[in-house]
Structure 1
């Protein structure tokens, strides 16, 4: 993109006074996401008993939620109350990078969670030797760095494209939508995008499914008490995985299947689902379903109990 290139979010046009209602709703959602996830992170950080691999990964999930939504909400809220809805090419590429990194990191963390539960359930006696907090921290660092590097390369390639249009029919910067505006060949962008999709989404998802299938097999051979304990720790992870996967599939389908005709409000909701529902649902799932976190939050809120 040339310096001075601006893109325009067309879906913010002609909203009238309803934009103030959307702004209020968006502000409440963003505040709730930040509040719930920060509570989870603080409780895990402050409670030494929660300095275990599974809880470290849960705190990483909360941090990633804050990171991803911060890449979307401040900009969207500003556009809702502004009369102009333009964004510079550089800022657009940066926003797309943050949002895509958030999505890739989510699958990375969910993959590590699945592998952690697989080790805990299949090798309970050796678990603490196989999975340690140090191993988890190093694994998170390596697996998060990978998509950040390749998505950074993808962002640089996108920023170098010459665009023949400047209208985005989205409420945030979507890399594929920007690439479609290009006047030149985008085959390198498309090949790299496919490679990133395979390595940051399909591969982690395959490992997640493999882990939970193996967990299910182990549980079927175990006592009912063991099954109950295993399901108690796995079900929240599975709920989070399904929720996020459905949201991502909805967004990818809307971007790639151009013949799909849906009402604008439904298209916007489906494209935003992965940025809104998982970040607010994840901390609630873990706070309500994992007794250790629930008790520690309760103790922090009401120390007399």
Structure 2
């Protein structure tokens, strides 16, 4: 096959789409409803936390960062997905494809760092309750949120720049949205540097926050087993939504990494598409529900805002 320079590839073809007839209109309506709910729920919670001074505490400020990131990640996927569902020709321009890769990957990285910072916050609140407000100052919260957003963007930019510089032998990627490793697999040139930087990036943006989460919860469990009943109740009430969010996101993230790095041809195409979309849709759908319903303060203020009693 003739070698094609990446600068000459003007578009990519998304090969995972197939003709579903009139069913595509029903799918469009379902995905549109999902996106509308994600925007409404996350914006509602951000507004509730921002306008209420009683919620200007570290835990809720980290939640604002989490909800804003979910709006960012959803916007990087849903409008594009809605257009592709109705379209008969499933193509995407090369610049937009790399932009979407950047949005999706930075969303996932920021999400993990958000969850790691939140686990650290819960660790301080449960293990060092008397020193909590001294340790978790407003300036420290601002620095942690800034690092949560800035570091993943710089980390993702390097492998994405390397991918955009590759010489490609084709333009068909077997996904429903742009994926960096799918583009790298089209390369005619040597990709060892891309693979090395890809593994380094995965270690930095996936395993580092996961290790911080694991360490924080090991310390929390140690305090719970040796502490009073009141301490255990506090840990359960504050950590349950966070743990549920971690497990939900880790499942989707793990499958996406496995699907991009290993041959998953034995898995049915519909299941692969569902799980790849789960990675980007269920977290923004799931988190507003779990935090909005589980945390009493947020639940009561949301009711007041919705029914005009605020």
1:163 and 1:301 mapped to 2: Cα distance?
52
Q: 1:34 aligns with which of 32, 39, 43?
A: 39
Structure 1 residue 134 displacement after superposition: 2.3
Listed as ranges, the gaps of 5+ residues in structure 1 are none
Question: Are residues 1:186 and 2:191 paired?
Answer: yes
1:301 and 1:84 mapped to 2: Cα distance?
41
Aligned to 2:27: 22
Question: Are residues 1:13 and 2:18 paired?
Answer: yes
Aligned residues: 305
Q: Report the TM-score when normalising by structure 2.
A: 0.95
Aligned to 1:123: 128
1:57 and 1:246 mapped to 2: Cα distance?
22
Aligned to 2:299: 294
Stretches of 4+ moved more than 6 A in 1? Answer: none
1:304 and 1:160 mapped to 2: Cα distance?
56
Question: Contact 1:164–1:183 (CA<8 Å) still a contact in 2?
Answer: yes
1:285 and 1:44 mapped to 2: Cα distance?
15
1:82 and 1:40 mapped to 2: Cα distance?
34
Question: Residues 253-290 of structure 1: CA distance to partner in whole angstroms, max 9, x if unpaired?
Answer: 22222154122111101111110111100010001111
1:149 and 1:112 mapped to 2: Cα distance?
18
Structure 1 residue 3 displacement after superposition: 4.4
Structure 1 residue 304 displacement after superposition: 4.0
Q: 1:63 aligns with which of 65, 68, 73?
A: 68
2:215 and 2:298 mapped to 1: Cα distance?
27
Structure 1 residue 191 displacement after superposition: 0.7
Report 1:85-100 matches (<5 A). 85-100=90-105
Question: Contact 1:162–1:183 (CA<8 Å) still a contact in 2?
Answer: yes
Comparing 5-14 and 160-169, the one that deviates more:
5-14
Question: Contact 2:9–2:171 (CA<8 Å) still a contact in 1?
Answer: no
Structure 1 residue 146 displacement after superposition: 1.2
1:118 and 1:130 mapped to 2: Cα distance?
11
Report 1:73-84 matches (<5 A). 73-84=78-89
Structure 1 residue 22 displacement after superposition: 1.4
Question: Contact 1:247–1:274 (CA<8 Å) still a contact in 2?
Answer: yes
Determine helix, strand or coil for the equivalent of 2:168.
Answer: coil
Report 1:219-258 matches (<5 A). 219-258=224-263
Structure 1 residue 298 displacement after superposition: 1.3
2:160 and 2:309 mapped to 1: Cα distance?
51
Structure 1 residue 152 displacement after superposition: 1.2
Q: Report the TM-score when normalising by structure 1.
A: 0.97
1:223 and 1:4 mapped to 2: Cα distance?
63
Aligned to 1:147: 152
Structure 1 residue 99 displacement after superposition: 0.1
Question: Are residues 1:277 and 2:278 paired?
Answer: no
Structure 1 residue 166 displacement after superposition: 1.1
Determine helix, strand or coil for the equivalent of 2:303.
Answer: helix
1:98 and 1:263 mapped to 2: Cα distance?
27
